[in-house]
Amino acid sequence: MWMSWLAVVGGLVFLVWSAERFVHGAAGLARNLGVSPLIIGMTIMGFGTSAPEMLVSGMAASSGNPGIGIGNALGSNIANIALVLGVTALIMPLTVDSGILRREFPVLFAVTLLAGALMLDGELGVLDGTILLGSTALLIFWMIWLGKRSQAVASDPQITASVTDPLTGEFEREVPSSLSTGQAVFWAILGLVALVLSSKLLVWGAVDIARDLGVSDLVIGLTIIAIGTSLPELAASVMSALKGEDDMAVGNIIGSNMFNLLAVLALPGLIAPSILEPAVLQRDFPVVAGLTLVLFLMAYGFRGPGRINRLEGGLLLACFVGYMTWLGMTGLG
């Protein structure tokens, strides 16, 4: 069994590294092609942080284990809000002042409701996957439109710098500008290849562990895989907060969660249609929906900037520990 655990640990390490390299190269290439940092940050960097989940979900489904992909999509959203933002807010309280993020919150709610509605019949099939994948394309187009609209407002001579959305400056600082086109292509391709190989290694080890421990693929996806594939978001959010880029720290989570519920959840339905375990609707999805609501209440900012303080960060982290304990009590068998 030690080989399986070694495969999981090694797969996760290389998955995190390859995801960072892929996003670094893709973002650098897009900037060299003249795409604005704001649009790069909202699309490529947002989509790229979900790349590990997508590859793992696709590999698991193609191996006949769609439960891992479903658990990964839902578990990653739980980990992103409760673990990633909980830890980040404990280290550095977060202030959310971006108008762009205020527009993304309702979309995150709509995406959550859509995913829940499609799973309500207890199945995740090809039609469900097609709808989710089509919605992913619509989301990307909407993000591009929103980015262009925000740029147009910022470039208006009557608009002062003081009201320019803070995400614009944060993405400007973070999107790589020193890569040549050749270097960007190299890192993007290398990162993508490494993502495929590391996700395959991770899925192989996870399936063996599930069999040896007698737990379902769903539980493995909700725990080991979800926490592991959320490590890029944890690193990105903590570093953003330490740099004073609070809006980016929260924006990373909102974007990743939307892509998880659309692109990541679509793959098991398209590749390996299956009947959902009852726990998905009775236990896991309600937690996803509840934490999404909690994030909205904390970070939206109804009377000014939103704020996630250390106490709220501790409560989020406690929710994550409680959920993991719940899984431990109900997920064996």
Read off the pLDDT of residues 1-51 as tens digits, 9 standing for 90 and up. 778 888 888 888 888 888 888 888 888 888 888 888 778 877 887 777 788
Q: Determine the distance from the C-alpha atom of residue 209 to the mean position of all C-alpha atoms in its chain, rounded to a whole number.
A: 24
Secondary element (H or E) of residue 289 = helix 285-299
Contact status, residue 301 vs residue 93, Cβ threshold 8 Å: no
Q: What is the pLDDT of residue 155?
A: 56
Residue 235 CB coordination number (10 Å): 16
74 secondary structure, DSSP code: H
Q: What is the DSSP letter of 41?
A: I
Yes or no: domain 38-174+214-330 corresponds to CATH 1.20.1420.30: yes
Average of per-residue pLDDT values in the chain: 87
| Percent of the chain predicted with pLDDT > 70 | 95
Amino acid at residue number 36: S
- Residue 165 pLDDT > 60: yes
Give me the mean pLDDT over the 309-314 stretch: 94
Domain chopping of the chain, boundaries = 38-174+214-330
CB 293 within 8 A of CB 149: no
What H or E segment, with its residue span, contains residue 308? strand 306-308
* DSSP-derived 3-state class of residue 215: strand
Residue pair 43/143 in contact by the 8 Å Cβ criterion: yes
Q: Can you read off the two tokens belonging to residue 29?
A: 């290439």
Identify which of 237, 226, 173, 232 has the alpha carbon closest to the alpha carbon of residue 202.
Answer: 226
Cα–Cα distance for residue pair 49/119, rounded to 1 Å: 24
Let me know: does 46 contact 252? Beta carbons within 8 Å. yes
The pLDDT tens digits for 100-142 are: 888 889 999 999 999 999 999 999 999 999 999 999 999 999 9
Question: Is residue 306 within a helix (H) or strand (E), and if so which, with residue range?
Answer: strand 306-308
117 alpha-carbon distance from chain centroid: 20
CB-CB contact of 261 with 112 (8 Å): yes
> How far are the Cα atoms of 111, 132, 143, 255 from residue 138, in angstroms, in the given order?
11, 10, 9, 14
The strand ranges marked E within the chain are 94-96, 123-124, 274-275, 306-308
Q: At 70, list the tokens.
A: 């479903």
Beta-carbon-side half-sphere exposure of residue 233 (alpha carbons within 13 Å): 35
Write the pLDDT tens digit of every residue in 52-103.
888 889 989 998 889 999 999 999 999 999 999 999 999 999 988 888 888 8
More confident residue, 219 or 166: 219
**Alpha carbons 196 and 135: distance in angstroms, whole number:** 24
